[in-house]
Structure 1
């Protein structure tokens, strides 16, 4: 399967990413770009986006980027730094980049941006199983 076919298959079964309103902008081996818009129901009591929203967008970008290599993979350690606040109507983009890929583990950095400004930084470590996407 191609990276795009893998991500399309994953996305079709990913009700949460669909609920977020994520659009897959680009995918290739080891990288993925996603976008979405902050909606009112995604804001907290301060009127800003809940931290879980940028986290979830980045987590989806991580999943799509690592699985694009063709092996079924899951996150085992993630963290995020929230740098700027986001409000309803803000359009954000997450770009997942592969830092290192080993046989069983992958290491990724995801930048979340509003226009050209970084609003959050996410780092993820993933476990790469031996199960291939085309064999299920």
Structure 2
């Protein structure tokens, strides 16, 4: 299921398109995105680059922040890398933890096809309107 505001937001995300990220689902305060990580996403050791994992989580976070039709931007984010990631399907699923009038907090789990937790991302957004 895709909410109209999140689908519109994602359609304008040029960086997500550059990376090859696909929007799987989005609803009030949540989203799921997918990336088929391949050669261009790998680091010098052959694993998925940490920057790619962060970007995937950040894209899920951004979509989730913009599901309700209010423009929102990230004001803080950090990530914990838990397991190494290999080439293949990766998913980032964002969920809203807290939502006040202007500030909201989100958690994002990054997993592989088997469901192994690769990273956890935490972000805070600020609603512009």
CA distance in 2, matches of 1:33, 1:56: 13
TM-score between both structures, scaled by the size of structure 1: 0.89
- Alpha-carbon displacement from aligned partner over 1:57-98 (angstroms, at most 9, x marks no partner): 11111111111021100000000011111122x211111010
Residues 1-136 of structure 1 aligned to structure 2 (within 5 Å) = 4-88=3-87, 90-114=88-112, 115-130=114-129
Aligned residue pair count: 127
Equivalent residue of 1:116, what SS?
Answer: coil
Per-residue deviation, 1:4:
2.1
Q: Structure 1 runs of 4+ off > 4 angstroms? A: none
Q: Which runs of 5+ in 2 are unaligned?
A: none
Q: Which runs of 5+ in 1 are unaligned?
A: 131-136
CA distance in 1, matches of 2:71, 2:117: 29
Larger-Rg structure? 1
Equivalent residue of 2:3, what SS?
Answer: helix
CA distance in 1, matches of 2:77, 2:98: 15
TM-score between both structures, scaled by the size of structure 2: 0.93
CA distance in 1, matches of 2:8, 2:69: 12
Equivalent residue of 1:24, what SS?
Answer: strand
